Structure 1
Amino acid sequence: MIRSGRAVRALLAAALATAGLTGLSSPTAQAAGETVHIALTTTDDSGGRHVTRGLEAQTPIAFEAGSGGDGTSITVDENTGYQTFTGGGASFTDTAAYLMKSSGALSQAARDATMKKLFSPTDGIGLSFVRNPMGGSDLARTGYTYDDIPAGQTDPSLGQFSIAHDLQDVLPLTKQARELNPDLTTVASPWTAPAWMKDSGQLNGGWLKAENYGTYADYFVKYLKAYRDQGVPVDYVTAQNEPTCCSGYPSMSWNGSGLAYFTKNELLPGLQSAGLSTKVLAHDWNWDTYDEYAAATVDDAEVRDHPNFGGIAWHGYGGDVAKQSAVHDRYPALDAFQTEHSGGTWIADQQREDMMNIIDYTRNWAKSVTKWSLAVDQNRGPHNGGCGTCDGLITVHNGDGSSGQVDYNIEYYTMGHLTKFVRPGATRIASTASSTVPNVAWRNPDGSKALIAYNGSGSAQPVTVNWGGQRFTYSLPARTSATFTW
């Protein structure tokens, strides 16, 4: 009876939190002397990339009676809940999938071991969110779509449609990821329509012809059905990755009204008519482009109420993360997902960037945290005219003196501070904001708690965590990410 009651309360809390409600009341069992497990990641360079310890388990400590204490005080209140967690991860770009599978750099045993370290919740970091390009992107060997035909020809019936390209690498690895983590959420984002649908006749840049809007919606349906038939149902899809950016690689231009029209009148009805449960996410770009490209879609009540509409996808390259909260405050029932933010050479301190992203995105209502390419090679490629400075969670050496070696980068460990300890379905709970020790807290579906914290300073910081009439104090080392679980 006790277990049943707790389960009901947890389900109710999750439902309310998903709707953006706070002030959840749920009696919690707070055992005296509760054990706290600690995992730390530390870097020792100014760029925050040289890992000296990665997700290293420390000697457990215990809560003791009392409140207050030394240093930064963080109170965790699991009776105040916010959004639920869908997952964290990255993308099987053509680049990543090729390097891990058909390039030959990794043996099957090495690939399986790498996949386990990435996606297994028990033997790895439990990545739980994959956002894959629908066709070519900048991190691909070439530009391609699923209906490429000779210049001057058209295929309005989509008779030449084929996902043969993805059957080589992207789809088998995504399927393996789902087998390793059955809670995996999948998202698909197109960089461009087939060239013959566009006014430019090219994959790079150009606009979708108005007469092809309906055909392009059919293209989405064919892609989603093809993936479903291969055993990989796609949970979410976006209408366009970064609309109007960037002409140097596969891309397509839109304006806000065009995206709103296509989403409302073609894509959503097309998915519904096909009996697909996949939900559409608006925007898929930065905070500072929302008003221009997404507001017209999101402000339409008929779109928001459509059973195949799923919310907003955010990128973190421009503007202020507070935009996520501003939109949430306007539409509290609307889910928000962070779907791309790459690591790369332009970032001054990668560990700090990653940790602040995890904390800021989720404190501003994001249900996911997503890096860009899962893998790149030792030259940060192969790439197709776009980002030659992007990092992956891993580096797969291919064709150099270390060919076959897999490097686990700082992004692997920082993402692991979230995905290894926060399970899909967890609820973000209240914790005291701090500029000295930024943090975010979660309650998992099984009732366990995870507090993610970061000390980016050059010296250790004492931290006191208060929870339910108990506390513990810990000296958090310099340049260190931590996850405390109990």
Structure 2
Amino acid sequence: MATACQEEKSVTKLEADVFETSESGNKLTKRSDFNAPEDATKTTSIVITPEKQYQTITGFGGAFTESSAYLLNKLSKENRDKIIKAYFDKDGANYSLTRTHMNSCDFSLTNYSYTPVADDVNLDHFTIEEDRDDLIPMIKDAMAASQDGFKIFASPWTAAPWMKDNNHWVGGKLLPKYYDTWALFFSKYADAYKAEGIDIWGFTVENEPHGNGNNWESMHFTPEEMTNFVQNHLGPKLEKDGKGDLIILGYDQNRAGLKEWVDVMYKDKASSKYYDGTAIHWYESTYEIFAEDLQYAHNKAPNKYLIETEGCIDDEVPVWKDDAWYWKKEATDWGWKWAKEEDKYLHPKYAPVNRYARDIIGCLNNWVDGWVDWNMVLDKQGGPNWFKNWCIAPVIVDPETDEVYMTPLYYTMVHFSKYIRPGAKIIDVQKTDKDLMVTAAKNPDGSIAVVVFNEGKTEKYFTLTLGDKIKNISINPQAIQTIVLTNQN
């Protein structure tokens, strides 16, 4: 009788909307048809404690790339608008944190720089003309579609070859004589975009400073070199130009290198002064979360941002209009073929949806405050990409037939971006089922979003407890749920 009374109490007092995406076909489907186990001992417990709070959320989103913007321009206006709204409208993903590239990257149509004239030390010939056809219109359309607005940060893959010691798009280092010129580049970029009506929130100093071998655009920094550049050139230049409020995120590569980098970035007050946070990627492993490294980075700089700035299913050509594939352990990443033998365990075959859900929840439970996907839109080949570095995006299009495929990865992103809003606080969660992954956040409006991921092949049953209120919920096999609790102020 006590259990029945508790459930009756929860129905009247705990307002909860449950949205589920599952291998069985749910796509942010609102559920109220919860099953009960025949054996009551199979019900587990999830307890949330809003009073115990952790990091403040900066946002969730994806990247504006030339490839994505180019593809949108190839679609009908109806489908272009559909995709923009799907990502930025309140009724869609409502993205709040986004990224773009400065100069070209692999997801550009070709190599280009905003500084095309060699030895232009004062950047008198600086121009963002290359962005006018595709990138800038996509960003402006997103701004128009977004009721809440979003932050955008920019990342360079490389300086123009003339500024580097190898005079090449790939690899090499920034010549010290151009450190001030390169700092000016960031300031001019912010001005140029502001003139277009686009306010830049901040920068990462360099995409993947370890480089990427003999591949696409890259430029190498050691932790000491980047910190010297930020401390003595970039930070002071932005400050001098009245842009001291622009965010500077250091590092911007895989989590396995975090300890070495944050030890240098946050060595002392002088080295830390202009760094606002640390940017990370997931490519060291899209299966292992590296919780210890994330905890270390947070503890080294507890008042700084810790943002996942790029992640995607890489080294794969998208599977077209086959939702089931995205839930199967068929996908590989670059490390499946290319990692050192001793690192192969970090790169198993693993379902794409599981990679995203597992990683985002793991990040949120280890002090990460923002999570940004890579390309928003790619074609059926996983491009365009001038280096043929094919990847998967949450939305795949066929510009030849004007078709759009919203993959299960899109819905997975929405489970976080729509329901966990900027300014939310990650709150404490305790669970008794080790096979369920759970995170929770309290939003500025007082609502609470609980995200539950069931990677297993069997249905799970749990009681969600908030104070003296209890609600019984079931989650399908291979499913992610967002449970929204309102009126919790």
TM-score normalised to structure 1 length: 0.85
Taking the aligned partners of 2:311 and 2:216, their CA distance within structure 1 comes to 18
Residue in structure 2 matching 1:159, options 120, 124, 139: 124
Provide the aligned length of Structure 1 versus Structure 2.
431
* Code of the aligned partner of 1:186: I
User: CA 1:248/1:294 → structure 2, altered by over 3 Å: closer, same or farther?
Assistant: farther
Q: Write the deviation string for residues 24-66 of structure 1: whole angstroms up to 9, x where unpaired.
A: xxxxxx995222111110125xxxxxxx2211112388xxxxx
Residue in structure 1 matching 2:406, options 405, 408, 417: 408
Deviation at 1:180, TM superposition (A): 2.4
In the alignment, is the contact (CA less than 8 A) between 1:70 and 1:473 conserved in 2?
A: no
In the alignment, is the contact (CA less than 8 A) between 1:96 and 1:376 conserved in 2?
A: yes
* Code of the aligned partner of 1:325: Q
Structure 1 range deviating more: 174-183 or 220-229: 174-183
Taking the aligned partners of 1:33 and 1:210, their CA distance within structure 2 comes to 64
Structure 1 range deviating more: 390-399 or 452-461: 390-399
1:240 maps onto 2:206 in alignment: yes
* Code of the aligned partner of 1:459: T
Q: Write the deviation string for residues 92-140 of structure 1: whole angstroms up to 9, x where unpaired.
A: 1111111112xx2x1223211210111111x211111111111211112
Aligned residue for 1:74, secondary structure, equals strand
1:267 maps onto 2:239 in alignment: no
1:336 maps onto 2:306 in alignment: yes
Q: Write the deviation string for residues 242-268 of structure 1: whole angstroms up to 9, x where unpaired.
A: 013223111111222111110110010
1:396 maps onto 2:397 in alignment: yes
Give the aligned partner of residue 124 of structure 1.
92
Give the aligned partner of residue 353 of structure 1.
355
Alignment of 1:451-462 (within 5 A): 451-462=450-461
Taking the aligned partners of 1:339 and 1:186, their CA distance within structure 2 comes to 11
In the alignment, is the contact (CA less than 8 A) between 2:104 and 2:111 conserved in 1?
A: yes
Taking the aligned partners of 2:56 and 2:11, their CA distance within structure 1 comes to 25
* Code of the aligned partner of 2:29: E
Give the aligned partner of residue 112 of structure 1.
81
Alignment RMSD (CA, Å): 1.9
* Code of the aligned partner of 2:136: L
Deviation at 1:70, TM superposition (A): 5.3
Residue in structure 2 matching 1:366, options 359, 365, 368: 368
Alignment of 1:45-56 (within 5 A): 52-56=25-29
Taking the aligned partners of 1:69 and 1:275, their CA distance within structure 2 comes to 62
Taking the aligned partners of 1:295 and 1:382, their CA distance within structure 2 comes to 38
In the alignment, is the contact (CA less than 8 A) between 2:258 and 2:294 conserved in 1?
A: no
* Code of the aligned partner of 1:113: K
Give the aligned partner of residue 443 of structure 1.
442
1:473 maps onto 2:472 in alignment: yes
1:321 maps onto 2:291 in alignment: yes
Deviation at 1:179, TM superposition (A): 2.8
Give the aligned partner of residue 276 of structure 2.
310
Q: Gaps spanning 5+ residues in structure 1: where?
A: 1-29, 45-51, 62-67
1:174 maps onto 2:147 in alignment: no
Give the aligned partner of residue 13 of structure 1.
none
Deviation at 1:69, TM superposition (A): 8.1
Give the aligned partner of residue 423 of structure 1.
421
Q: Gaps spanning 5+ residues in structure 2: where?
A: 1-9, 35-39, 317-331, 334-349
Aligned residue for 2:373, secondary structure, equals strand
Taking the aligned partners of 1:367 and 1:38, their CA distance within structure 2 comes to 23
In the alignment, is the contact (CA less than 8 A) between 1:36 and 1:485 conserved in 2?
A: yes
Give the aligned partner of residue 25 of structure 1.
none
Taking the aligned partners of 2:407 and 2:170, their CA distance within structure 1 comes to 31
1:58 maps onto 2:24 in alignment: no
Taking the aligned partners of 2:266 and 2:385, their CA distance within structure 1 comes to 33
User: CA 1:194/1:87 → structure 2, altered by over 3 Å: closer, same or farther?
Assistant: same
Q: Write the deviation string for residues 410-441 of structure 1: whole angstroms up to 9, x where unpaired.
A: 21111000011111111111111553110100
Structure 1 range deviating more: 428-437 or 472-481: 428-437
Aligned residue for 1:302, secondary structure, equals helix
Q: Write the deviation string for residues 290-347 of structure 1: whole angstroms up to 9, x where unpaired.
A: 24445322223224334xx321111112272331111212322122111111124325
Deviation at 1:178, TM superposition (A): 2.5
TM-score normalised to structure 2 length: 0.84
Give the aligned partner of residue 484 of structure 2.
485
